[in-house]
Amino acid sequence: MGYSYTVGRYKNEASVTRASDPVEYARRRDTFLDAAQRLIQSKGYERMSIEDVLREVGVTKGAFYHYFDSKAALLDGVIARMNEAAVAPYADVAASDLPVLQKFEAFWGGIQAYKAEQRDQILGYLRSWLSEDNAVVRDHLRRSLPDRVEPVLCSMIRQGIDEGVFSVTSPEATAGVLVSLVQGMNDTATGLFLELDAGSVSIDDAEERISAYGVAFERILGAPPGSLRFGDPSALRTWQRWGATYREEHQ
- Per residue in 37-50, pLDDT tens? 999 988 889 999 99
Three-state SS at 121: helix
Please choose, from the candidates 228, 225, 227, 231, the residue with its C-alpha nearest in 3D space to the C-alpha of residue 209: 231
* Residue ranges for the chain with pLDDT beneath 70: 1-19, 89, 230-231, 251
Give 96's DSSP letter: S
Q: Are 222 and 167 in contact (CB under 8 A)?
A: yes
Domain residue ranges of the chain, discontinuous segments joined by + = 3-69, 80-249
CATH assignment of 80-249, given 4.10.860, 1.10.287, 1.10.10, 1.10.357? 1.10.357
Per-residue confidence (pLDDT) for residue 18, from 0 to 100: 60
Residue 234 CA to residue 244 CA, distance in Å, equals 16
Per-residue confidence (pLDDT) for residue 6, from 0 to 100: 40
- Per residue in 136-194, pLDDT tens? 988 988 888 888 889 989 999 999 999 999 999 999 999 999 999 988 988 998 899 88
Per-residue confidence (pLDDT) for residue 84, from 0 to 100: 81
- The amino acid present at 10, given as its one-letter code, is Y
Please choose, from the candidates 3, 4, 121, the residue with its C-alpha nearest in 3D space to the C-alpha of residue 57: 3
Per-residue confidence (pLDDT) for residue 3, from 0 to 100: 34
pTM for the predicted model, two decimal places: 0.76
